[in-house]
Amino acid sequence: MLFALCVCLPLALQGQETLHYAGALQVGKYKGEAGYDYKVVGQDTLLNGPFIMERSNLEALLENEDSSFLFSGTFKDNFPEGFWRFQFGEFQSNSETQVIDYQYRVLISGTQEETSGTLKMGKPDGPWTYTVQQIKDSEVEKTLFKSSIVFEDGIPQRSFRVENENSTLVGRFLRNGLAHDEWSLYATDEVEAVESWFFNNGLLQKIQNRDDNGTKVVQLSIDSTKRKKTINLDTRFLSVLQLQLPANDTLNIFESGMPKLLAENTLYYQKIDDILSELGESAFLPEFKVEVAYFPLDSEEIMQLDSIKVHFEKSKIISESLLDNTQLNILKLSDEEALFLYSVVNSISEKFLGPIKKVVDYHEQDILEFVTRDQLIGKLWPLGKPSKEIEVTDIKLPKSFVLPNAEQFEFDGNTLTSIRQLAQYAAYSLDSVQQLLNDKLTQDQRQQELIALEEELIAQSKGLNSLIDSIGNNVPGIDKDALLQIKALAETSLSTYSAMEEVASKFSYAGELVDCYTQLNLLTKVIAELPAQWEEIQQNYQDGVWNPFTATVMNEEVKRRITAAYSRVLVPYFLNWAQSDLSCDNVDELVVLMQNTYQRMNELRNEDTSKLERKLRKEQDPKMVMQLFNIQNQVKEN
């Protein structure tokens, strides 16, 4: 942590000598009086020696309540080291005092949190106990929470115990921190476990729950031949577990007692980790480890997920705007066709967008790589994927909606491709319904919406121009011709829009321009990142080589044909595309391609590329280079 008080120290003091500070200090939300030793190395202040920080206010206690705390321990070269103690108190007083041994004493009530143990290089090492107690009249009334964990170099070891007022969890770890054997949750005053999770070397094999109706056992299917990955036992693991359970299983992992108790334990330890991390270098948070099957996403699947997200977000905007449209909700009461179209939107929202939103969320939470695509689709649509024919029966004359080109969409197969097809079908269907409903909305309503779209267009246009000017002036090494073409395309598109007279055409084109401007903004940022990305790639493609003549380790560039193909073939191809062939129809394609190519460059550094490098020797065709880089499926002819 850098402390402002050290910035103005004389240069003569900025050495290795130990200095001392005593005074006010704020760490996160905690403000108090602190005393600590430190040393200044260059421009950095490194805590080194005893540390104490505390706060208590008798006046606040007597008037209402007081929040007190105490942090004490030792640092070594900015790492918490040795014995540490933390106390947090929330107290009230009845304002009655006693005189004992020539001292005034006040009885207090409230809660007291306390934890202590040994740290080694910022990691817990040895036994740690975290206790939360309820205090009444300065006496411990009851224990609200208690956690006892033994660590070795930050890794939980052997058995542990976590308990609150309602339940107690006991379990154990292997030396590598993996969950092992039976983890049992006991309700207060009960002998038998109400919930048990059975692990084998980190792999969860079954879950057993007991209630008044008997015992339920959920057996997890484990293929020992599948690739495994070690992750934390946290909310992400619980989401993975929920997807891995059989489609007909009703067990809600998030509502069971064990995850709730583990989450409570994590919150308390997180509080300490936040404090130590702001002060110095720390990795205090206990990481309970588990093993899960691993099904990594390939580059094509990542492209499919990007497309799914784009179509979902577009669909969500249309769906919400129609379902929440006040005029449409009134119109559907008297217009059978409006009611039908409204019902189609509602059905798409429930049967298509609801599950697709989960796919987008799972991807953002890094969950999809731990479930098979069969498991994913089985959980999303347990009764089967929705039909292209969207039936509406809650009207006088039931009928169905089908896109005119529905045969182009293929929902079959348990792949991300099929989900992308579903997302596209939903987006195109909603767009079609929106156009039909536009004819039913009053001219005034459409005019108001058009005004809002035009205001957004103007704001986006100004924002894009400002971004391009800022990047062109402040970022060295940027291809300004590409930025000028982006600006020119935006201005030309806006001019085309302004020349339109027919309201329906303007409304449709304005929506397209909003999407186009969003992608142009993103492309501008992607182009601006090229110099920094190239510098990063150059650094990554370096290996240290011993030079016997200078007796030093020198950096030497490796895989030169790969980096040359990127810098001399692919990047010029992208920039030429932006300068000469850019349009609102293909800007999103160029953005995705540039992003995925950069990602592929980072992957190739760690792969065996000797065969690839031979093939790249004289290759100058950018599309062939992308094919050799295994990103050819992401390219359309343009």
Domain map (residue ranges) of the chain: 56-290, 299-517, 521-634
Q: How far apart are CA 443 and CA 97, in angstroms?
A: 76
User: What is the predicted pLDDT for the residue at 635?
Assistant: 42
Check whether 637 has a pLDDT greater than 50: no
Q: What is the DSSP letter of 353?
A: I
CA 168 to each of CA 165, 177, 192, 461, 547: distance values in angstroms, whole numbers, following the listed order: 8, 20, 11, 59, 61
Confidence of residue 249 (pLDDT cuts 50, 70, 90): low
Give the per-residue pLDDT at 213. Answer: 77
In the numeric block, the tokens 């993975």 are attached to: 240
Give the H/E segment covering residue 533.
helix 503-540
Strands, E, within 212-270: which ranges? Answer: 214-219, 228-232
- Give the containing element (helix H, strand E) for 571: helix 571-576
Residues above pLDDT 70, as percent of the chain: 87
- Provide mean pLDDT across the span 13-27: 78
Instruction: Tell me the CA end-to-end span of the chain in Å, nearest whole number.
Output: 51
The pLDDT of 239-246, averaged and rounded, is 83
- What band does 444 get if pLDDT is binned at 50, 70 and 90? low
- What's residue 2's pLDDT? 35
* DSSP one-letter string for 391-452: EE-SSSS-EEE--TTGGG----SSSHHHHHHHHHHHHHHHHHHHHHHHTTS-HHHHHHHHHH
Residue of 171 and 57 predicted with greater confidence: 171
Residue 162 pLDDT > 80, yes or no?
A: yes
Residue 52, C-beta contacts closer than 8 angstroms, at least 6 positions apart: 34, 35, 36, 70, 71, 72
pLDDT above 90 as % of the chain: 39
- Report whether 277 contacts 393 (CB < 8 A): no
Tokens standing for 143? 């224990």
Q: Could you read off the pLDDT of 518-560 as tens digits, one per residue?
A: 899 999 999 989 988 998 988 888 875 555 554 444 556 788 8
pLDDT at 179: 94
Question: Angle at CA 274, nearest 5°, toward 271 and 279?
Answer: 130
Mean pLDDT of 337-346: 92
Q: Judge contact between 154 and 124, C-beta under 8 A.
A: yes
Which residues, other chains included, contact 601 with Cβ-Cβ below 8 Å and sequence gap of 6+? 537, 562, 563, 566
Range with lowest mean pLDDT among 43-47, 90-94, 346-350: 90-94
Question: What is the SS3 assignment for 14-30?
Answer: CCCCCEEEEEEEEECCE
Per-residue pLDDT at 101 exceeds 90? no
Q: How far apart are CA 591 and CA 581, in angstroms?
A: 13
**Could you tell me the CA-to-CA distances from 195 to 57, 144, 168, 185, 204 in Å, in that order?**
44, 21, 10, 5, 14
Q: pLDDT by residue (tens digit) across 305-327?
A: 999 999 999 999 999 999 998 87
The mean of the pLDDT values for the chain is 85
Q: Is 503 a residue whose pLDDT tops 80? A: no
Q: How far is CA 206 from CA 237, 273, 435, in A?
A: 15, 32, 51
The pLDDT tens digits for 580-629 are 889 998 998 999 899 889 988 888 888 888 898 888 888 899 999 998 88
